[in-house]
Each structure stands twice: as structure tokens, then as C-alpha cells.
Chain A
Amino acid sequence: MNTQPPSEQHLLRRCAGALAIAVGLLLIGWLLAAPADAAPRHGVPGHGVTVSIACSSTGMDQVACREGAEAWARQSGNRVNIVSTPSSATARLALYQQFLAARAPDIDVFTIDVVWPGLLGRYLIDLGAYVDAARRAEYEPALMRNDTVDGRLVALPWFADAGVLFYRQDLLDKYHLKPPDDWAALSADAAAIQRGERAAGNARFWGYVWQGRAYEGLTCNALEWIGSFGGGSIIAADGKVDVDNPRAIAALHMARGWVGTITPPGVLNYSEEEARGVFQAGNAAFMRNWPYAWALAQGQDSAIRGKVGVAALPAGPGGRHSAVLGGWQLAVSKFSAHPKQAAALVLYLTSRAEQKRRAIAYTFNPTMPSLFDDPEVLAAAPFLGRLRPVFADAVARPSAVVKTRYNEVSAAIWTRVHAVLTGEATAAGEMRALSLELRRIGHGGRW
């Protein structure tokens, strides 16, 4: 094919090519052959064991998690190995389930969402034997109930979260309004501010943003609306389904009415970040979100720095406030090779001293109510003091009651609620259908 004799240059190029390939192969071989556990392990090399803990990859979470775990390692003479997991809860749950399904001992301690104890409980050890009564009493009782599945304490509460209302203090002042205490006031105030701001030239301004995407966040929002209207918590503590009632329907009517009037229609695909995007750009008067948005709204590069207030979510017609409890727990895998040391790590990380350190250094919300009164904590993070009443009223989602069916239940809730919000179906019809669906899934409340 190549009829001419290869020129010198040609040979040279071939040589260089071959050399490059050889070097590449060597590099690939070396990297592929690198032992899997080349990962750095932290702590004192010594006699102890290595405990792997799955932390969130989120910046602050991971730093705080690493510091705490390494402190424990130094103190106990063991080693810790930090496995960073996605900050998205769905992705993390999928990853955990894969480990548990394969009975893999690679992760000893899991950081689990507040709604997962029921889902994963069978694969987690009972921490009851490691926690004495005095220690138990220190934690928020609602969280301890949440972490107890079929009488087994499968996780310990690490830090808490709850739905709160953010408002624009500057706009409330401008329109001579007070932070709304109930939904009627919020609707009226939001409409008034929206009218005023649009007339003033901001065509993109909206009154109220929240999370309306078909996902777990919508279940949280819906539970808050329905709870504040006195419509129950969809599934009661005894397992009975209670959602096909006039108050729940009225609550959804209200939310449906917001969409397109004081709430952008796009909210139907908003999760936390989209809502924060609109609010933090200065284009909304009110926002329902988790406390994380506070630090960002007050950040150096925020358009609304110093103009934001936070309050409990508005009450329904009966005067009841309702906030859904969120947050993360620590649990030990049933397949752990070192359950004793893993439990010790969990106890250390959820201890009063460590929670205090995390609250002061990173404003993580403690799961021990007494820490909200701690003067050092309040001095370092005054924001936590403002959340105190919110946490006092916060309610858990029905995850401990419905156990492994929680995701199915939540999916049924958000699907039906989403259909109401888009206007595809009526609130009354969907709540009736949801009630029947949940009763069938839960065998009439026998979860």
C-alpha cells in the first residue's frame, strides 16, 4: 500500500508513537494495579480497627464529619475511613441499599435521612444496648420515636432540620406589614407586595415560592399545609389513614390557588435550590425552605444580604403551626465487622459535647433540646435561638409507622398532590383516591 520507502521523519514519528503508547500502557497498568485500599486512613496507626463512615459530600457536612470522626479515632486508638456520598438523598439511599443488598461490610456507619430508619431498619443494628436511659432522655423525643422501629433503636439523631418561612424584612417594612402569622395573611401580603413590586418595574417578582416538584420535598410541603389546617398527618401514629377530610382538601385548595397568582407556575418543578434561586435573586417576598438557606441569603454575594427574616411557617385557620422535621441520623450496618467500635463512633458523634461543637462551629441544629438554651451556642449562632420554637412544633413524617413502605407512601402523596397543583384533578377527588390507595398499601392501617 505504502509504495514509497519510509522516510526518516516517518520512522521517527512511528518511534515516538510507539514510545508514547508504551508509556501510556505502563501508566494505565500502574494505576489499575494500585491496591484498592490505597485510600488514606486517618488516625493513629496502632492496634485499633478501621471504621468506615459514610458522610455527605456536602462541604460543611463533610468537614464537620471528618473532624468529629478523626477526634474519635485519636481518642479511642482506632482508625476511620471517610466515604463521601452524594448530597442528593435519593442517590445516597440507592447507594446504601446496594451495599446492604450485597451484605457488604465496606461501610460500618451510615448517615441516614430522618425518613430512612423504617426503610433500612432491618439492616441496622439495635443501638439500644449501647445507650443508657440518661443519654436517651437528652435527645428530642420526636426524633427518638422516629428512630425506633418495632422497638429497636436503629439510629441516633445527629442534626435536625425543619421547614421554615423566610421573608424579606425590607419589603415588609416598605409595605408596612408584619411577618404573617397565618396563611390568609401570607396570601394577602404576598399578593400586595407582588402587585407593588411589579408596578415598580420588576416584572419577574412573585409573592411566595416553595417546593412543588414531584418529589419528597412536595410531601413535606403538603404535610405542613394539611397539618396547619388541622387535617392530620395523612397517616396517624397508630397507622390509620386520614387524608380524605375537608380540612386537608381546603389546605390543598389554598395551595392550588397560589399557583399562577402569587407563586410562579414553574414551582411545579422547583426543589429547594430553584426556590432559593428566585428568593435570593430578590424576586420573591416569601419562601418556604430549610434553614440552610439562611447562611446563603446572608452571604457576601447575596442580593438580599441583611434584608431577610425567618419565622415559623404560617398557621392554618385553627391557629396551628406545622413544620416537617428533617435532618440526619447515624446508624450502624448489620454487616459491619466491628459493630462495637462503630457504635462507639456513633455515640461519640451524637454526644452533647460534639453536637455543641458542631452547633458553634457550623450552626448544625442540635438534636438535644437543652443545647438550644446553652449560652455559648446562642452566642455563637443566634440564628439557632430563632429556630427553637419551630423545632418545638415540628412533626415527623410517618416513616417510622409505615416502615419499608415509606417511599411508596410518599410517592403516592406527592403524585396526587402534584396532580392537584397542576389542575389536572380536583383536591377532593385526589384526596379520596389517595386515601383508598394508602389504605390498600397499608392493609387498612396494619403497616
Chain B
Amino acid sequence: MKAGRRLGSLGVALAACLILVWSLFPLAWAMLTSFKTGSALFDPDVFATPFVFSNYVAVFKGQPFGRNIVNSVVVAAAVVAIGLAVAVPAAYALGRVRLRGRGLMLAAILAASMFPQVAVLGGMFELIRHLRLYNSLAALVLSYLTFTVPFTVWVLTTYMRDLPRELEEAAVIDGCSPPGVLWRVLLPLLRPAMAATGLLAFIAAWNEFLFALSFTATDEMRTVPVAIALFSGASSHELPWGNMMAASVIVTLPLVLLVLLCQRQIVAGLTAGALKG
């Protein structure tokens, strides 16, 4: 019995290790190479050459990388905020109200996210120029809504549908109107789902590249992935690998922090979920 439990906990530790290596090894490798320059970059034996910090210094020199990070945060936060704000009520309508044409509407929403990005790029560019949003962060927020909204609506609709009906009915009997039910009863229950989808949408917006490259022009308006991709060596063809890795490490850390913060929300669902029974 005791031996079996010890074996079990060994298995858990082993699995945890496997997951850690699989998820983190590439980033760890990036971190190791971010301390290398010149020919040392091309040497797989990372401990054979000295570690240097020059790449981290270079990232913030010569380009407004700090501003790029702020831009990314603002765009991703705005996309998540707007996306959730429109998706939660929509998910309520689609998930909890018996509407005619509900399936059709869900299908149409889904269809909007089926187009390959490169195909809608031209039309999106025309739209943004028409709205005079070119080279502004608002252009990015607008274009990112096209992939955030369908995703959040669908995911939240699923969760919304699975919430127990009794709570809602009780609230209605207490005199709550649908907005009240949504705000006071369903929203707290949805917190884990909202945290999860919000987090995924945040990261998707944070990482988006093609639209960000196409709809901004000046270094001050760039987001992080574009800024990293536009890092370049001293001369053409040269890939500034060390700088790119340093920058990737820098921008991944705040996301890890964000994930740790959102955990509380996702875990909070445990208690909310327990209320259901």
C-alpha cells in the first residue's frame, strides 16, 4: 500500500518533469542562445563559450522596444476587453435563449474565422485605409476582433449552455431581468471560462504578425512580434539570432506572469462549480 503510493508519487513527478521538458526546453534553449553572439551562436555546446548580456542591451537600443511592448499590451487588452464585452451577452442569447435561426447564426459566426488570413489581408487593408485607421493601434484592434469574437462567442456559448438552469430560474422568480440574471448569476459562474478564453485570446492577439506588419508603418506603432521580426543584423541577409532570442525571452516572461494571475480566476471556478450541485 505504502510502496504503491510512493510509486504513484514518483509517477506524478516523472510526468511533471516530462511536461516541463516538453514545454520549456525550446524556451530554455532560446534563453541559453540569447547569451551568445557571433560564431558562438552556431556552436551547439553552449557551455563551451562565455555568456554575455549584450543581446539584451541591444534589444532596447536603437528601437523603441519598450513602446512596442506597451503597444502589444494595449492592443491585446483592448481586443480581449471588447471581445468579451460583446461575446458574453451574445453567448447568453445563443446559449440560453431558444431562438430561431440560432444554429445558422453560430455557423455564420464560425464562417468568419474560416478564411485564410492572407486572403482577407487586402480587403482588410482597404477597410482600414477607408476608415483612416492606417498606422494606428485601433486598426489592429479592429482586425483582431475578426478572429477573437467568433472564438470567444463559441467557447462561451458552450459553457453558458452547461450551466444549471435552476439558478437562473430562481433569480427570475426573485424578479431579475435577463441582464440582471446575466450580470449577477451567470457571470460569476463563467469566470473560469472567461479567464481561459480571455487568456487565449490575449496571447493570440499578442502574437499576431501579418496584420500587425501590414497595418502599421512606423517603429513607434509596431507590436512585439513585428518588432522582433524587423530586428535585423548589421547587413542584409543576416539574421540577428541573439537579439531575437533575447527579445523573445523578454516578451514571454510577462505572459507567464499573466498566466499565473489568470490561474486564480480559472481555479476560482472550482468553488463556483461546487455551488452547482
Contacts and interface: CB of A to CB of B under 8 A. Distances in A.
Do A and B interact directly, with beta carbons closer than 8 Å?
yes
Interface of A: 1, 24-25, 27-28, 31-32, 34-40, 56-61, 81, 83-87, 91, 95, 98, 101-102, 104, 106-107, 161, 271-273, 276-278, 280-282, 289-290, 292-293, 295-296, 299-304
Interface stretch (B99-107, B131-139, B157-165, B248-256): B131-139
B234 interface: yes
B38 A83 contact: no
B235 A39 contact: no
Given A36-B134, A272-B237, A273-B238, A91 B122 contact: no
Interface string B12-52: 00000000000000000000000001111111000000000
A304 B48 CA distance: 17
B74 A87 contact: no
Contacts of B70: 31
B84 interface: no
Query: Counting chain A CB atoms within 10 Å of each CB, which of B71, B213, B217 scores highest?
Result: B217
B38 A300 contact: yes
30 contacts: A1-B185, A1-B275, A27-B74, A31-B74, A32-B141, A39-B217, A57-B231, A58-B235, A58-B236, A58-B238, A59-B232, A61-B232, A61-B236, A84-B230, A85-B230, A87-B230, A91-B213, A98-B122, A101-B122, A106-B134, A106-B217, A276-B237, A289-B237, A290-B237, A292-B237, A295-B234, A295-B235, A300-B38, A301-B38, A303-B38
B125 A98 contact: yes
Nearest to A60: B234
B264 interface: no
Contact of B230 (A57, A107, A280): A57
B62 interface: yes
Contacts of B221: 36, 39
B5 to A, nearest CB: 38
Query: Counting chain B CB atoms within 10 Å of each CB, which of A25, A161, A278, A301 scores highest?
Result: A301
Contacts of A61: 232, 235-236
4 residue pairs, one from A and one from B, having the closest CB atoms:
A301-B38, A303-B39, A281-B42, A39-B218
A370 B220 CA distance: 40
B219 interface: yes
Given A32-B136, A34-B136, A299 B38 contact: yes
Query: Counting chain A CB atoms within 10 Å of each CB, which of B125, B136, B236 scores highest?
Result: B236
Nearest to B242: A301
A24 B38 CA distance: 41
Contact of B38 (A32, A84, A302): A302
Contact of A28 (B74, B122, B218, B238): B74
A325 to B, nearest CB: 15
A86 B136 contact: no
Contact of A280 (B42, B188, B237): B42
Nearest to A300: B38
Contacts of A32: 74, 78, 136-138, 141
Given A273-B239, A301-B40, A58 B233 contact: yes
Query: Counting chain B CB atoms within 10 Å of each CB, which of A35, A104, A293, A296 scores highest?
Result: A296
A31 B137 contact: yes
Nearest to A328: B236
Contact of B232 (A1, A57, A104, A106): A57
Contacts of A27: 74
Question: B interface, how many residues as a size bin?
Answer: 35 or more
A15 to B, nearest CB: 18
Nearest to B118: A94
Contacts of B37: 301
B169 interface: no
A277 B42 contact: yes
B121 interface: yes
Nearest to A281: B42
Nearest to B52: A301
B190 interface: no
A330 to B, nearest CB: 15
Contacts of A303: 38-39
Nearest to B185: A1
B34 to A, nearest CB: 15
B218 to A, nearest CB: 4
B220 A280 contact: no
B77 interface: yes
Given A39-B217, A83-B218, 14 more contacts: A1-B188, A1-B275, A24-B77, A31-B71, A35-B136, A36-B134, A39-B135, A86-B230, A87-B232, A101-B122, A273-B238, A296-B235, A301-B39, A303-B39
A149 to B, nearest CB: 24
Contacts of B235: 58-61, 292, 295-296
Contacts of A107: 217
B43 A281 contact: yes
Query: Counting chain A CB atoms within 10 Å of each CB, which of B62, B219, B235, B240 scores highest?
Result: B235
Contacts of A31: 70-71, 74, 137
B265 interface: no
A39 B222 CA distance: 11
Interface string B254-276: 00000000000000000000010
Contacts of B207: none
A85 B213 CA distance: 9
Interface string B69-95: 011001001100100000000000000
A302 B71 CA distance: 36
Contact of A304 (B39, B74, B126): B39
B219 to A, nearest CB: 6
A102 B129 contact: yes
Contacts of B125: 98, 102
B205 to A, nearest CB: 13
Contacts of B220: 38-40
A98 B141 CA distance: 20
A28 B229 CA distance: 25
Nearest to A290: B237
A435 B194 CA distance: 58
A276 B134 CA distance: 38
